[in-house]
Structure 1
Amino acid sequence: MTTHLDLLTGESAAELLDAAVATAGGELVDWRVRQVDHRPGSTTTVAYRATVRWDGVTRCETLGASVGRSRDGTKPGVVTLTDGDATVAVWRFPDDPALPALPAAFDPVRVEELLEGLGVGHQARAHPELGVRAYRPTRRAVIEARAAAARVFLKVLRPRKVADLHRRHELLSDAGLPVPRPLGWSDEGLLVLSPLRGTEMRAAVRDGARIPSPDEVLDLLDRLPDEVRDLPRRPAWSESAEHYAGVIGAALPAEAGRAADLAGAVGARLAERGPGTDPTHGDLYESQIMLTDGRITGLLDVDSAGPGHRADDLACLVAHLDVLSLTRPKDAAQAEQASRMRRLAADYATAFVAAGDGRGADRADLCARVAGVLLSLATGPHRVQERDWQTATSRRLDAVAGWLDGSRLAAAVGTA
């Protein structure tokens, strides 16, 4: 029996994409899977990078397809197809059925009008230059708009989420946190944000440049206002370990049992602490932190800010640093970089534990939460269709086990 995952990522996907493109008057030349969002027993959504010929002109296109989302097929620009068992909705970027504001956010004329209405960019002599910074089909997109007198980011999300995200940016900006200032929003799901100073911490991490000390990270979290506790609670990454184990098992059945066992161990550890009430960012890692000369000057993506355990923020940063060490090195330089990433993750973890309860984290609790975040990250190789994603997934599960039993932290500290 063909699963929804097989349908959208296997050979049959070519027939679906070819039929959808032909319906719009084009010819599919080539395609490959770029991103997979598979929710076992519920929905599957896939993004593709395709080469399409239109009236003799060949262009690169981003296509999307979904199964299990019944409303997608009713939206403008979406072609509905069936293989006899499942109904598939297929679209071309920017006609995402769950993101009605995306076509306007990717239209230079309409963005120019938007900027003028907000009082920015009115001196521009040409349409804004638009660039896609991020796109998760049916989930969100980020468009950078540059004009002669303005630079803003257009964050597109599902309409029901935009007012809440605007409030979060407003709350944190008013409290003095270095988050993007909200400049305006629409009911369709468009949020306009100011740019931040600096470059992503990930670049400094990779280059071996100055990065914030553990104390500076803790100081940043200390600045989160108490009002964050009153925001809706979002599950921490580690609290969704069972879900991510299911995603891994569906994509890689050979690891289903191990993933489920690891998720069970994470869940048992977390149950000992119960829900937290600390103000948290909710998704703190090196790509969310902006630096200028090694100092923190920006904090991105506050979508998940709310009450929780500070240890979850600290674990998120440690896990993301550690996962950078898990890429298979091609030469000695890459091997040294991987080793440095692992030591860096361990150094942060050790310092966070040394900071003590309240400001830092308990060692066993932090390790369990790092393991939980790593379990969510173990879905990444399949989601972005890395080459040999099966091996990469297993390596990440090895790291999960290593944090749960403490051996990964101990080994990294021992090599420092």
Structure 2
Amino acid sequence: MDTALDLLTGGAAADLLEAAVATTGGELVDWRVRQVDHRPGSATTVAYRASVRRNGVTRSETLGASVGRSRDGARPGVVTLSDGDTTVAVWQFPGDPALPALPRAFDPAAVEELLAGMGVAPDGRTGPELTIRAYRPTRRAVVEARSASARVFLKVLRPRKVADLHARHALLFGAGLPVPRPLGWSDDGLLVLSPLHGTEMRTAARDGSPLPSPHDVLRLLDQLPAGVCELPRRPAWSESAGHYAAVIGATLPDEAGRAADLAGTIRERLAERGTGTDPTHGDLYEAQIMLTQGRVTGLLDVDSAGPGHRADDLACLVAHLDVLSLVSRADPASAARAARMRRLADEYAAGFVAAPADRGADPRDLSARVAGVLLSLATGPYRVQEREWQAATTRRLDAVAGWLDGTRFAGSRAGRA
């Protein structure tokens, strides 16, 4: 295993966390790895759930540590530890060194002041209720702020990205897409967004509730304005297949060769189409789509919107549904949900292929892009430290192979009808 991975996820991590917690008067009682972001040859960041005793009281805290990010150690509140060869930066949430706005977004008094500046009257003594909805160390966080008279989402990201993301929301909201309305932003990386209404498509799919048809998904993408193509182009998930294969190889050496071979096949198939010029969402899947009685009423996370291949958006949705089918089949209810997700993946893929050429996707191309997204998702079990993540990774690689060789989707063997 990679040296940084071993240091931050192995037994030595306990000494690092103990030393960092001690600087603030705490005592480390217990810890476990919650999330791993490994970039071979670059940087590794790990989040931990720890039990920390302070003044005789033990509480659960989130800690973070990074190797290979030289600027992290220069931030206030970050503890830097070194053995002469490797330097590790350790912090306690919300003091993430790459997200300087996070402490403010998680401070009820500061958020109450922010809401007051937006014309929201204070609730009184209680202040706004703050809930962490997402946290990727050094990458981003989402905090839901709820008061008696208002509800907003505070998206925290690296400062250099906030103005761009605000502009993306403004562009898409102005074009009539059901994205969160941008309510303001700050130089330190805080973006305030309005809430969306509805139910996640993922929840609806699991429950067997009404879902949008493939045509409805295509119609949603039809609404993307031409201005999206003027935004900076970001690589599609499938275009980074080599990177994700390297991550798999570093964490699961037994699958390194197969992952690299699959990435090579994906790269060759993508080269047949060249660079795309369609307006795309960039990360379209069922957790990003909000529904009301089967109708699309919300679209989240437009960070990656830009020019590309529409087929990448379609493939992203299909691949995520397919991954949801790769769950334990130990009980009948779980097996039924898995079968439903697999069927949905097939139905959406078939619907996208059956659409007119200028709106849908070529079956061979779609299959390669689905495989590329699945390869990126094959790093997920290790990243979130899923139980038996090795077997889960192998199952996802099996799915990648199935989409590439046509056994998973028969339409990939033929041309468009």
TM-score, structure 1 normalization: 0.97
Query: For 1:384-403, what aligned pairs fall within 5 Å after superposition?
Result: 384-403=384-403
Residue 262 of structure 1: CA displacement? Answer: 0.3
**C-alpha distance in 1 between matches for 2:410 and 2:334:** 22
Residue 24 in 1 paired to residue 15 in 2? Answer: no
Q: Is the 8 A contact 2:2 2:250 kept in 1?
A: no
Residue 130 of structure 1: CA displacement? Answer: 0.3
Question: Given residue 198 of structure 1, which amino acid in structure 2 is its aligned partner?
Answer: G
Once the two structures are superposed, residues 301-358 of structure 1 have per-residue CA deviations (whole angstroms, 9 ceiling, x without a partner) of: 0000000000000000000000001112221221121111111100000000000311
- Counterpart in 1 of 2:121? 122
Query: For 1:269-284, what aligned pairs fall within 5 Å after superposition?
Result: 269-284=269-284
Secondary structure in 2 matching 1:326 = coil
Residue 124 of structure 1: CA displacement? Answer: 2.3
Unaligned stretches of 5+ in structure 1?
none
Once the two structures are superposed, residues 276-308 of structure 1 have per-residue CA deviations (whole angstroms, 9 ceiling, x without a partner) of: 010100000000000111111000000000000
Secondary structure in 1 matching 2:403 = helix
Q: Is the 8 A contact 1:118 1:184 kept in 2?
A: no
Compared with structure 1, are the counterparts of its residues 24 and 218 closer, same or farther at alpha carbon in structure 2 (3 Å cutoff)? Answer: same
Q: Is the 8 A contact 1:375 1:397 kept in 2?
A: yes
Secondary structure in 1 matching 2:282 = coil
**C-alpha distance in 2 between matches for 1:346 and 1:257:** 28
Secondary structure in 1 matching 2:177 = coil
Query: For 1:200-215, what aligned pairs fall within 5 Å after superposition?
Result: 200-215=200-215
- Counterpart in 2 of 1:302? 302
Secondary structure in 1 matching 2:325 = helix
Secondary structure in 1 matching 2:187 = coil
- Counterpart in 2 of 1:216? 216
Unaligned stretches of 5+ in structure 2?
413-417
**C-alpha distance in 2 between matches for 1:17 and 1:205:** 40
- Counterpart in 2 of 1:111? 111
Question: Given residue 31 of structure 1, which amino acid in structure 2 is its aligned partner?
Answer: W
**C-alpha distance in 2 between matches for 1:136 and 1:2:** 21
Secondary structure in 2 matching 1:133 = strand
- Counterpart in 2 of 1:82? 82
**C-alpha distance in 2 between matches for 1:95 and 1:336:** 42
Residue 118 of structure 1: CA displacement? Answer: 1.8
Q: Is the 8 A contact 2:179 2:196 kept in 1?
A: yes
- Counterpart in 1 of 2:12? 12
Residue 2 of structure 1: CA displacement? Answer: 6.9
Compared with structure 1, are the counterparts of its residues 204 and 405 closer, same or farther at alpha carbon in structure 2 (3 Å cutoff)? Answer: same
Residue 333 in 1 paired to residue 319 in 2? Answer: no
Q: Is the 8 A contact 2:36 2:385 kept in 1?
A: yes
Residue 82 of structure 1: CA displacement? Answer: 1.8
Question: Given residue 118 of structure 1, which amino acid in structure 2 is its aligned partner?
Answer: M
Once the two structures are superposed, residues 193-223 of structure 1 have per-residue CA deviations (whole angstroms, 9 ceiling, x without a partner) of: 0000112111001111111111111110000
- Counterpart in 2 of 1:352? 352
Once the two structures are superposed, residues 262-287 of structure 1 have per-residue CA deviations (whole angstroms, 9 ceiling, x without a partner) of: 00000000001011010100000000
Mean Cα deviation higher: 375-384 or 290-299: 290-299
Q: Is the 8 A contact 1:356 1:362 kept in 2?
A: no
Residue 410 of structure 1: CA displacement? Answer: 3.2
Residue 45 in 1 paired to residue 48 in 2? Answer: no
- Counterpart in 2 of 1:290? 290
Q: Is the 8 A contact 2:26 2:54 kept in 1?
A: yes
Residue 24 of structure 1: CA displacement? Answer: 1.1
Compared with structure 1, are the counterparts of its residues 252 and 297 closer, same or farther at alpha carbon in structure 2 (3 Å cutoff)? Answer: same
Once the two structures are superposed, residues 104-162 of structure 1 have per-residue CA deviations (whole angstroms, 9 ceiling, x without a partner) of: 0000000000111122x215223110000000000000000001111000000000000
- Counterpart in 2 of 1:35? 35
**C-alpha distance in 1 between matches for 2:242 and 2:398:** 17
Question: Given residue 343 of structure 1, which amino acid in structure 2 is its aligned partner?
Answer: R
Compared with structure 1, are the counterparts of its residues 26 and 370 closer, same or farther at alpha carbon in structure 2 (3 Å cutoff)? Answer: same
Question: Given residue 209 of structure 1, which amino acid in structure 2 is its aligned partner?
Answer: S
Residue 188 in 1 paired to residue 188 in 2? Answer: yes
Query: For 1:244-283, what aligned pairs fall within 5 Å after superposition?
Result: 244-283=244-283
- Counterpart in 1 of 2:160? 160
Residue 365 in 1 paired to residue 365 in 2? Answer: yes
**C-alpha distance in 2 between matches for 1:161 and 1:123:** 30
Secondary structure in 2 matching 1:408 = coil
- Counterpart in 1 of 2:93? 93
Q: Is the 8 A contact 1:290 1:299 kept in 2?
A: yes
**C-alpha distance in 1 between matches for 2:190 and 2:156:** 5
- Counterpart in 2 of 1:379? 379
Compared with structure 1, are the counterparts of its residues 227 and 2 closer, same or farther at alpha carbon in structure 2 (3 Å cutoff)? Answer: closer
**C-alpha distance in 2 between matches for 1:195 and 1:2:** 41
- Counterpart in 1 of 2:415? none
Q: Is the 8 A contact 2:132 2:143 kept in 1?
A: yes
- Counterpart in 2 of 1:67? 67
Secondary structure in 1 matching 2:284 = coil
**C-alpha distance in 2 between matches for 1:98 and 1:210:** 40
